[in-house]
Amino acid sequence: MKHIVLFFFTTLRLWAYEYHLKPIQVSQDVYCFFGKTENISKENGGNMVNTCFVKTKEGFVVIDSGPTFSYASQAYAQMQKISKLPVKIVINTHDHDDHWLGNSFYKSKDSLLIGPLTYEQNVVPGMHTRMERVLGNKIFEGTKIVKLDKVVEKTYNFTLGDKEFEVKKLVDKAHTKGDLIIVLPKEKIVFAGDLVFNDRLTSIRDGSIIGSLKALKLIDEMNATVVVGGHGYKTDRNATKHLEAYLEEMKREVLSAIEDDVSISDINKRVLMPKYKTMKLYDALQKRNVFEAYRELEFYTDEEEE
């Protein structure tokens, strides 16, 4: 009885914030928790990212562990309702903290943690993350930074149970310098991380508009039937199209402004892209995106796309 009471209070403490996670099946044996298309806040508990899991005969593979220990523990509880299988592998698509702060929960379950070289370079145990600063101690409770078990620089292929997985870095720099995608080649499924956004604007503060467009083109060429991005709800073969259109328009308008000798201080007076004003996070991200695009494209030549 004592152990049952202890378990109850431990669970209550860890689940101080209830995420109300509901897995959505996007293909056979493939499920995702779709985050809100908004910024991090205490009200949403940092739940603004898509995390997915693939069921194999030997266990689950999780793609992006989410924003907190509590989030990951609640996601795991939902997985167990589908099948009483262990989480064997967790793959982090890049080093932005909304995608990997659930790692410490899965480490407690002896899962193998995989991620990009930039995680190893930029994520330091004991560092304070933006998620911790915004959410506060109560929601963040139990969340720790842990090291990866395997770093992927270019490619890594593995088989678990009845499923084959390919982990790939497509370009040198796109959303970040370390973006990984996960491909199930037989099923024609791509987990694109933050290379793909829809239903809200992206941020290019750590990335490259040219690299992002290259990566999106490569994803399109895979002819996948399911493409899951890091943010947003579209998962069909056209999931890349909104972001491609946005970045292409921004590239054209910024290059045109540069040609007309518009300065970087005036670029946001020229490049407004009003048809995207109704998109979520336009006010928060648009001006910074245009500014970063200008800095990259100021000395741009066509040869950079070769």
pLDDT digits (tens, 9 = 90+) for 51-75: 999 999 999 999 999 999 999 999 9
Q: Answer whether residue 306 shows pLDDT above 80.
A: no
Q: The tokens of 291 are what?
A: 């500014």
What pLDDT does residue 305 have? 56
Per-residue pLDDT averaged across 32-54, rounded? 97
What pLDDT does residue 3 have? 47
pLDDT tens column, 118-139: 999 999 988 999 999 999 999 9
Q: Answer whether residue 2 shows pLDDT above 50.
A: no
pLDDT tens column, 173-215: 999 999 999 999 999 999 999 999 999 999 999 999 999 999 9
Contact 50, 62 (CB under 8 A): no
What pLDDT does residue 300 have? 87
Contacts of 174 (CB under 8 A, 6+ apart): 195, 207, 208, 211, 212, 214, 215
Cα–Cα separations (whole angstroms), residue 251 to 70, 240, 260: 40, 17, 14
Q: The tokens of 182 are what?
A: 């996960």
- Can you point out the beta strands (E) in the chain? 24-27, 30-33, 51-55, 60-63, 87-91, 112-116, 150-152, 155-160, 163-168, 181-184, 189-197, 226-231
Q: Answer whether residue 303 shows pLDDT above 90.
A: no
Cα(154)–Cα(170) distance, rounded to whole angstroms?
Answer: 8
What pLDDT does residue 16 have? 73
Band the pLDDT of 221: cuts 50, 70, 90. Answer: very high
Q: Which of 43, 185, 177, 159 is nearest to 119 (CA)?
A: 177
Least confident among 43-47, 73-77, 83-87, 297-301 = 297-301
What is the number of helices (H) and of strands (E) in the chain? Answer: 9, 12
What pLDDT does residue 15 have? 58
Specify the CATH class of 2-168 in words.
Answer: alpha beta
Per-residue pLDDT averaged across 275-296, rounded? 97
Query: Residue ranges of the domains in the chain?
Result: 2-168
What pLDDT does residue 8 have? 38
Contact 117, 61 (CB under 8 A): no
Mean of all residue pLDDT scores within the chain: 94
